A and B are shown apart, each in its own frame.
Chain A
Amino acid sequence: MTEIITSQTPPILHGPSEKEKKYDRQLRLWAASGQEALESANILLVNSGAGAVGVETLKNLVLPGIGKFTIVDDAVVNQADLGVNFFLEEDSLGKLRSECCTKLLQELNPEVQGDWFPKSVGTLDLPDVLTTSPRYTLIVYTNPIREEDLATIEAYASQHKVPVVSIHSAGFYSYFRTSLPGTFPIVDTHPEVEKTTDLRLLSPWPELVDFAQEMTKDIDALDDHEHGHIPYVVILLYCLEQWRQSHNGANPTNTKDKREFGKFVLAKSRTNNPEGGEENFQEAAAAINKNIKLPELETGLEEVFNYQLSDEFELQSTFWVIARAVKDFYLKHGCLPLPGALPDMKAQSSVYVKLQNIYKAKARRDVHEVLEIARANTGGKDVDLAEVELFCKNARFVKLINAKAPEQQLNQIYDTEKANDAAAEAMKEETSGAFSLPMSNFFIYLALAATSHNATAPADAIITTISSKIPNAIGDKRMLQVAQEVARAGGGELHNISALTGGMVAQEIIKIITKQYVPIDNTCIFDGISSRCQVLRL
């Protein structure tokens, strides 16, 4: 035993700090690196209309501790605000909404800074706010919005390459849309753990082959305990070798062969024991389907490999330098750098740890090879080891968001979504309602977007606006119903829908700021009547 435990009631060593305690439940999702990114963020909300959805968004960012937020809003608090916005109180009536909301939001987290504009009623100058403030990390605005304000925000975003999120919440409907400056690559995508296992059973490297051969060279002479604790990776490597000998060197990669191979593996299990079988051989058979397969690229990574860089700004990023190095590695070896993690499996502790170290050592060698390639490439002189490590560990699931301009015009999307709905309708009829596909939310987006600058438009005006871009919308029943539903709200927000939308927008902003998990690409439309979201690229 080591000397760590010397007393029964040791003092608290390296216990969490106050801040780590407060943020414990979120640090388990985005770690210290994500938290640091959030704490450096400076968010601007340009608020208007009923005004609840933007403030609910900020609430969900202030709580986890963004660095700073600013609210720009020239509205004066009225009675209707108090019925929909939780961050106002009776005393707020008649005062600046921006100031009142900022103060009540700040109460949620003393570590977050807040500011507001205008400083007095009737003095808002948005261009001035933008030019005199420190650089914003991200801008959120809510619809309806004045056209000149929108133009100001878009000009700033394009000049400073700042992501923008627009939100519109009315009645039971909402949508939000993210506009990212250029392509947005994510390395730390947090795929499900079960998907990330990469054992390289069909292309083992010499150290792994030696380890497996050493363990199995006298497999029949092993005692029952040893035999029952051979790790399944070793069992599969051993069985694959034998299988290839009786199958002209071919691996069991198709479904039929895999099934046969499963029987082949289980037949090697000892059954003359009290359990009547061996757990490690069962684990081996169960692992065949997912782990014996030829390497193939995920579409996300393929997109990264094939992406043609054109933007000067993007060329400089270390992401692309490392991506090119990983691609070179892939072309040379026919496989990606090894992630290096080994799932748990029945085995003796020491054997498992040795096997784990073989995987880790190979992963480290691959990282260094990629690092060397990257440093030799143009712009890669200062590439950081930690960044290469992260990339190699996650290489298979790297993703690119906003890689190309939207391919379709609104009227083409309209026709596609209409056709999908017709197919869904037919399917429902055919199966007497047993099988139904969700209906498109695209029409909700169209109707809300038609009220971007005129919140209280009646249904016929909404249809008229839509039909100027999409002539087919005239006379469509579903389009009309959705327009009527938007008109019914009269520009008002329902608190629940705005709270829900504010939650989704905050999740997206956290994903964009931390560069972790996968953001939407690029519009999410919510229908509070059927309780469904749909993400479309618009």
Chain B
Amino acid sequence: MAAISGGGGGGGTGAASRWHYLDQIRRNPGPFNEDSDVSDEALAAWDKAKVLVIGAGGLGCEILKNLALSGFKDIHVIDMDTIDISNLNRQFLFRKDDVGKFKAEVAAAFVEKRVNGVKITPHNCRIQEFDEDFYMQFQIVVCGLDSIDARRWINATLVNMVDMENQDSLKPLIDGGTEGFKGQTRVIFPTITPCIECQLDLYTPRAAVPLCTLATIPRQPEHCIEWAHIIAWDQEKPFPSLDKDDPEHITWLYQKASARAQEFGIAGVTYSLTQGVVKNIIPAIASTNAIIAASCCNEALKIATNAAPALGFEESYMMYSGDDSIYTSTFRYDKKDDCAVCGNLAKPLAVDPAWTLQELLDSFAVKPDLQLKKPSIRAEGKTLYMQFPPGIEEQTRPNLDKTLKDGLGLEPGFEIAVTDPSFPALTFQFILKFA
């Protein structure tokens, strides 16, 4: 009996039959995209589409492979990182000999060599080093990032770029993320559908252990490690600066933490836990990256070809969970009018009038919809505290110890504006309320 040929006709020898399977889908409308334009002209336009991939790590490697095998011909990839040995269990475009090289460069070269006819341009740098002109050249942006700050930055940039007069200024943003057996895919049409900032409260910042617990009453191995990391390191300064990737530095912290744990009778400090706590390591595996990256690229393909309806306008968020059987949920989010990026209303900000300004600023780091580490603040147009430049910082520093109501004279209804150097394009607007 002859072998079963899946494609029936895929056995041709010309390069045209290379995309036989993809053409089945993009040249033949189905029952869910009856009105799609599948003409040669439409497909030719798609061939010219430029896609930007942000991140060449666990998701990024998969995304580059998937886009190349979805027929995208012109791809750029940005990543500032170099390859580490702990990447090799999932970042499948890298080999042991590549450790230390730039991820973007190695990944781009590998996929270009493997898939004929695709051009991949690597950029070994931070996304913040490019301006709007750079981002304007792409039709779709796909993100595989592990940093919330980078997501917020690209989101704000793409939203700001939208010019209602120019349809091409609207760049769909597809964002993936994973943790262990779980992950999520989001599709954003900037200014039209809810943006990453609208959904920021989906990432709850990890609750910090109070300093006094670390300093005086540790109970968990993590408390001992944080003590070594935050307090002992600062006091003893064993090396000029902490390099979390230097095994010698981690070993120092591990031994400090072990000694402290022993002193208090606490079990469970290990090298691996020390590394995990200090670097905030998130478990990551090849299979979850494969699922989420492919889901992102499936949406990119659907948006580019209209081969089927994509996520975005109705449900915009797909959550995957594989640790207890398999569950997916797709959600619809609403755009927030008081979103600092895509809305135009100020949010209420409830504060305790007896707080000092410092306490208010500290609360911004853990406020789920804000998560700012270096905030500067103005009230009714008057500067209360500025992180930069140093002269102004020094002038405004005395305000940090003043209380909001009695010390600074703030009243309910005051307009508060908060900025942070991580997001230069953003101003967070609030209306003050006393709790």
CA distance A484 to B308 in the complex (A): 13
List of B residues within 8 angstroms of A75 by Cβ: 3, 5
Beyond A10-B255, A495-B66, whether A531 also contacts B318 by CB under 8 A is: yes
CA distance A530 to B314 in the complex (A): 10
Chain A residues 507-538 with CB under 8 Å of chain B are 507-508, 510, 517-521, 524, 528-533, 535
**A4 close to chain B: CB less than 8 A:** yes
Interface contact A29-B32, CB-CB below 8 Å = no
Interface contact A25-B89, CB-CB below 8 Å = yes
Q: What residue of chain A has the Cβ atom nearest to residue B258's Cβ?
A: A4
Interface contact A531-B291, CB-CB below 8 Å = no
- From A11-19, A235-243, A321-329, give the one contacting chain B: A11-19
Interface contact A60-B287, CB-CB below 8 Å = yes
**A348 close to chain B: CB less than 8 A:** yes
CA distance A79 to B258 in the complex (A): 59
Interface contact B69-A504, CB-CB below 8 Å = no
List of A residues within 8 angstroms of B217 by Cβ: 229, 347-349, 352
Interface contact A80-B17, CB-CB below 8 Å = yes
CA distance A108 to B61 in the complex (A): 13
**A488 close to chain B: CB less than 8 A:** yes
Among A13, A16, A80, A518, which residue has its beta carbon within 8 angstroms of that of B11? A80
Q: How far is the CB of A537 from chain B (nearest CB, A)?
A: 11
List of B residues within 8 angstroms of A506 by Cβ: 286-287, 290
Interface contact A492-B181, CB-CB below 8 Å = no
Interface contact B13-A504, CB-CB below 8 Å = no
CA distance A332 to B266 in the complex (A): 34
- From A45-53, A197-205, A311-319, A387-395, give the one contacting chain B: A45-53
Q: How far is the CB of A293 from chain B (nearest CB, A)?
A: 22
Among B14, B65, B264, B318, which residue has its beta carbon within 8 angstroms of that of A353? B264
List of A residues within 8 angstroms of B283 by Cβ: 25-26, 28-29
Interface contact A521-B286, CB-CB below 8 Å = no
Interface contact B65-A494, CB-CB below 8 Å = no
Chain A residues 97-144 with CB under 8 Å of chain B are 107-110, 144
**B344 close to chain A: CB less than 8 A:** no
Contact-residue size bin, chain B (C-beta under 8 Å from the other chain)? 35 or more
CA distance A63 to B93 in the complex (A): 11
Beyond A503-B291, A507-B288, whether A12 also contacts B251 by CB under 8 A is: yes
Interface contact A78-B12, CB-CB below 8 Å = yes
Interface contact A491-B285, CB-CB below 8 Å = no
List of A residues within 8 angstroms of B116 by Cβ: 82, 90
Contact-residue size bin, chain A (C-beta under 8 Å from the other chain)? 35 or more
CA distance A52 to B33 in the complex (A): 25
Interface contact A484-B3, CB-CB below 8 Å = no
0 or 1 for each of A71-95: is its CB under 8 Å from B? (1 = yes): 0001100111111101001100000
Interface contact A455-B298, CB-CB below 8 Å = no
**A261 close to chain B: CB less than 8 A:** no
Interface contact A22-B294, CB-CB below 8 Å = no
Interface of A is mostly: loop
List of B residues within 8 angstroms of A183 by Cβ: none
Among A5, A12, A518, which residue has its beta carbon within 8 angstroms of that of B248? A12
List of B residues within 8 angstroms of A84 by Cβ: 21-22, 69
Q: What residue of chain B has the Cβ atom nearest to residue A342's Cβ?
A: B219
**B115 close to chain A: CB less than 8 A:** yes
**A417 close to chain B: CB less than 8 A:** no
**B218 close to chain A: CB less than 8 A:** yes
**A159 close to chain B: CB less than 8 A:** no
Interface contact B89-A529, CB-CB below 8 Å = no
Interface contact B326-A16, CB-CB below 8 Å = no
Interface contact A492-B24, CB-CB below 8 Å = yes
Interface contact A9-B301, CB-CB below 8 Å = no
CA distance A507 to B20 in the complex (A): 29
Interface contact B10-A492, CB-CB below 8 Å = yes
List of B residues within 8 angstroms of A492 by Cβ: 6-7, 10, 20-22, 24-25
Interface contact B114-A89, CB-CB below 8 Å = yes
CA distance A530 to B275 in the complex (A): 40
List of B residues within 8 angstroms of A21 by Cβ: 85-86
Beyond A56-B290, A492-B10, A504-B287, whether A531 also contacts B295 by CB under 8 A is: yes
Interface contact B12-A12, CB-CB below 8 Å = no
**B73 close to chain A: CB less than 8 A:** no
Interface contact A29-B285, CB-CB below 8 Å = yes
Interface contact B290-A49, CB-CB below 8 Å = no
Interface contact A15-B301, CB-CB below 8 Å = no
**B247 close to chain A: CB less than 8 A:** yes
Chain B residues 339-369 with CB under 8 Å of chain A are none
Interface contact B262-A499, CB-CB below 8 Å = no
CA distance A79 to B297 in the complex (A): 22
**A218 close to chain B: CB less than 8 A:** no
**B324 close to chain A: CB less than 8 A:** yes
**B263 close to chain A: CB less than 8 A:** yes
0 or 1 for each of A147-161: is its CB under 8 Å from B? (1 = yes): 010000000000000
**A172 close to chain B: CB less than 8 A:** yes
0 or 1 for each of B241-266: is its CB under 8 Å from A? (1 = yes): 00000011001100110110011111
| Most central of A22, A148, A508 by chain B CB within 10 Å | A22
**B132 close to chain A: CB less than 8 A:** no
0 or 1 for each of A242-276: is its CB under 8 Å from B? (1 = yes): 00000000000000000000000000000000000
CA distance A10 to B258 in the complex (A): 13
Chain B residues 135-176 with CB under 8 Å of chain A are none
Q: How far is the CB of A427 from chain B (nearest CB, A)?
A: 15
CA distance A70 to B178 in the complex (A): 29
Interface contact A497-B271, CB-CB below 8 Å = no
Interface contact B6-A48, CB-CB below 8 Å = yes
**B293 close to chain A: CB less than 8 A:** yes
**B389 close to chain A: CB less than 8 A:** no
**B280 close to chain A: CB less than 8 A:** no
Q: How far is the CB of B171 from chain A (nearest CB, A)?
A: 20
Interface contact A25-B281, CB-CB below 8 Å = yes
List of B residues within 8 angstroms of A362 by Cβ: none
Among B4, B297, B325, which residue has its beta carbon within 8 angstroms of that of A455? B4
List of B residues within 8 angstroms of A10 by Cβ: 251-252, 255
CA distance A464 to B309 in the complex (A): 28
Among B24, B89, B294, which residue has its beta carbon within 8 angstroms of that of A23? B89
Beyond A48-B3, A48-B6, A80-B7, whether A59 also contacts B21 by CB under 8 A is: no
List of A residues within 8 angstroms of B272 by Cβ: 16, 20, 24, 27-28
**B130 close to chain A: CB less than 8 A:** no
Interface contact A517-B290, CB-CB below 8 Å = no
Q: Which residues of B contact A (CB under 8 A)?
A: 1, 3-15, 17-22, 24-25, 28, 30-32, 62, 65-66, 69-70, 85-86, 88-90, 92, 95-96, 114-116, 180-181, 185, 213, 217-220, 236, 238-239, 247-248, 251-252, 255-256, 258-259, 262-266, 271-272, 275-276, 281-291, 293-295, 297-299, 301-302, 307-309, 311, 315, 318, 320, 322-328, 330
Interface contacts beyond A500-B295, A507-B291, A517-B322: sample of 13 additional A-B pairs, CB < 8 Å, sorted by A: A10-B252, A12-B251, A13-B251, A24-B275, A25-B285, A79-B13, A90-B116, A489-B25, A490-B8, A491-B7, A493-B6, A496-B295, A499-B297
Q: List 16 A-B contacts (CB under 8 A).
A: A2-B262, A13-B251, A22-B86, A25-B86, A26-B284, A29-B283, A79-B20, A81-B10, A349-B217, A349-B264, A456-B8, A490-B21, A497-B298, A517-B322, A530-B309, A530-B330
Sorted nearest first, the 7 A-B pairs with minimum C-beta distance are A492-B21, A80-B10, A503-B290, A49-B6, A500-B294, A503-B291, A495-B69
